[in-house]
Amino acid sequence: MALELKSSDNKIFEVEELVAVQSETIKSLVEDGCADNVIPLPNVDSKTLELVLDWCKNHVDMKLDEEKLKEYEDKFIEVDQAVLYDLLLAANYLNIKDLLNRACQKVADMLKGKTPEQIRETLNIVNDFSPEEEEEIRKENLWAFEE
């Protein structure tokens, strides 16, 4: 049983149902009987969708081989930052638990050991605290809540 998925940039992907329903989002659509036509995924571009479907396919194929699967997952998640974020958002949108966990873990590992300024730089986040606010939080963190 094959499903058709359409990425945000209008590329069609033909996928086995068994593979596609690793996404809880798609699974719900199938169960509700809404998957007869092409399923539009406006939040996922073709590049990311291809990767996601590769993950799903391999999780079906290697289901019984824990070691092989782990090797695959470790290699899969070694992507550059921009791709990682796209995967993270796609996994969230498509509700693929294990991919979401893996991607979140990877991003978390990127943040560990960094100062706030380094984190802001890594993720291009603007500091919207006033210097006084930031100092107050920093003081409370350091004086009250740190080893």
Please count the residues of this chain forming the interface with other proteins, following the rule CB under 8 A.
Answer: 40
Q: Which residue number, 64 or 142, has a Cβ lying nearer to other proteins?
A: 142
Shortest distance, position 14 Cβ to other proteins, whole Å: 29
Distance in angstroms (rounded) separating the CA atoms of residues 63 and 59: 5
3-state secondary structure of 70: helix
Nearest distance in Å: CB 92, other proteins: 5
What's the distance, CA 17 to chain centroid? 21
68 vs 70, which CB is nearer to other proteins? 70
Q: What string marks each residue from 24 to 63 as x (binds other proteins by CB under 8 A) or -?
A: ----------------------------------------
Residue 12, φ and ψ in degrees, nearest 5: -100, 135
Which residues in 92-131 contact other proteins (CB under 8 A)? 92, 100-101, 104-105, 107-109, 111-116, 119-120, 122-129
Q: What is the per-residue burial (b if ≥16 Cβ within 10 Å, else e) of 15-25?
A: beeebbbbbee
Give the torsion sign (CA, 126, 132, 136, 141): positive
A 10 A CB-CB count for 129 gives 12
Check binding of 9 to other proteins (CB under 8 A): no
Per CB under 8 A, residues contacting other proteins are 82, 85, 88-89, 92, 100-101, 104-105, 107-109, 111-116, 119-120, 122-129, 134, 137-147
